[in-house]
Amino acid sequence: MSVLSKNYTLNNGVEIPKLGLGTWFIDDADAADAVRAAVATGYRHIDTAQAYGNERGVGEGVRTCGVPREQLFVVSKVAAEHKTNESAAKSIDETLEKMGLDYLVMMIIHSPQPLFTTKKGHFTTFQIDIARTYPI
């Protein structure tokens, strides 16, 4: 069995492929071809981020790779500067629109940083609810 077909099972029962295609440093113009080639090789986990500037191309590759969408574990990342519920939610919607996808399996915070720190170097946290779930 190839490592490309092995998964980890998350605590919620969702399976995530052990190996994924990272798209950092892949230009948007080349991203669709890279994704299609990776999927043809057996990759089912595709990773991008708002900061990479290639979500449009990655989304095109996902949509045109010939593998049903529900068989692909597509991840993107919210840019760290989005510190409010409204800003993060808007950026997620923009990612989905750029990628031309109805859903992502996972959206994570890219290089999370606190909103601000105190004089002693501690940071203050606050609760926000930006999670939206989609069937996979």
Q: Please give the model's pTM, rounded to 2 decimal places.
A: 0.83
Q: Identify the band that residue 88 occupies on the pLDDT scale cut at 50, 70 and 90.
A: confident
Domain range 3-109, CATH architecture: Alpha-Beta Barrel (3.20)
How far apart are the C-alpha atoms of 6 and 19, rounded to whole Å? 8
Catalytic residues: 52
CB 50 within 8 A of CB 110: yes
Which pLDDT score is estimated for 21?
98
Q: Which of 34, 14, 6, 7 is nearest to 106 (CA)?
A: 14
Which pLDDT score is estimated for 134?
43
